[in-house]
Amino acid sequence: MKYGFIFTGTDPNLAVELAPLAEASGWDAFFVWEGIWATDPWATLAAAAMVTERIRLGTMLTPVPRRRPWELAGQTMTVDRLSNGRVILSAGLGVPADVEQRFWIFEEDPGRKVRAELLDEGLELLQPLWRGEPFEYEGEHYHAHRTDTMLPPAIVQEPRITTWVVGVWPRKRSMRRVARYDGWIPNYTPPEADGIDPVLQQRTYTPEIAAEAIAWIRAEREQAGLADAPFDVVQEGTTSGTDAEADAAIVRPWADAGATWWLESDWSVPAKRVARYARDRVRAGPPRV
């Protein structure tokens, strides 16, 4: 089990302060969130890369359908090179307008189907973009003409920047997308539910359901010839940082189910308390099992 801390605040200076503190306190990764009309996460992570040596750096998460893949490729490549290959890209569809209108103040939500198509093509297009070599691409939403000039440097990581993808269990199309990449960020919708309800998910998603989904992913990856490639399973949650035994009891069932990363976050902390909370929780270290 590895452990990451998600900084839920917005101050880039504080984020850059926290990254080396997280490294010194035993965390394995440090994440910032990516919004619309918000602090630039990749500029923040570039600065964090210059003051850390070991810790992984990433977003939680990047709405790939909202981004131009070539610009995202340049940002992630830059941080990957500055950090010597420590970047994690967490990719998802993005928050729909009916859940949070704040994320759609500049454009209309094209709907889940189109966003899913954009996610598939965006992830596919990132692969040759990261190599920094001439290529051509023709998709439904994106195309690229071949060029042999002004090519950017390639990323450090091989074969790509570690890419975790949101997948909705038990929706097989969504989960097959996950199985092609490097990690699963779980969403869950009970079979009887009409749609994806974050509150319902929090109440009904259990380690037992996670174990069932992880077994399915492993079988899918084996069938695709990917069984021997590294693959992460993420679980996000909140622990106290003050009671090691109680914190371990929260994390252990997810580790037993097959999760490989625990991401510590508390999105309920008010903005005026985020700095103190983040410093204290990061300094206390991860909830090791």
All structural domains of the chain, each given as residue ranges with its CATH number in brackets, are 2-158+232-284 (3.20.20.30)
Residue 25, pLDDT score: 98
List the end-to-end C-alpha distance of the chain, in Å, as a whole number: 8
Please report, for residues 6, 24, 29, 30, 88, the alpha-carbon distance to residue 54 in angstroms, rounded to integers and kept in the order given.
Answer: 17, 10, 9, 11, 13
CA distances in angstroms from 165 to 93, 123, 143, 177, 185, listed in the order given: 9, 10, 23, 8, 6
Closest CA to 255 of 227, 217, 214: 214
pLDDT of amino acid 12 = 98
Q: Which residues contact 274 (CB under 8 A, 6 or more apart)?
A: 8, 9, 14
The predicted pLDDT at position 269 comes to 97
Q: Please tell me the pTM assigned to this model.
A: 0.96
Distance CA 200, CA 115 (A): 23
**Contacts within 8 Å (CB) and 24+ apart, 68-75:** 69/121, 69/122, 69/125, 69/126, 69/129, 69/142, 70/125, 70/129, 70/144, 72/122, 72/126, 73/125, 73/126, 73/129, 73/130, 73/152, 74/152, 75/42
CA proximity to 241, closest of 214, 260, 267, 266? 266
> What's the pLDDT at 232?
98
The whole-number mean pLDDT for each consecutive block of 10 residues of the chain, a chain of 289 residues, reads: 98 98 98 96 98 98 97 98 98 93 95 97 98 98 97 98 97 97 95 72 90 98 97 98 98 98 97 98 97
> Letter for the amino acid at 136?
E
Please name the amino acid found at residue 20. Answer: P
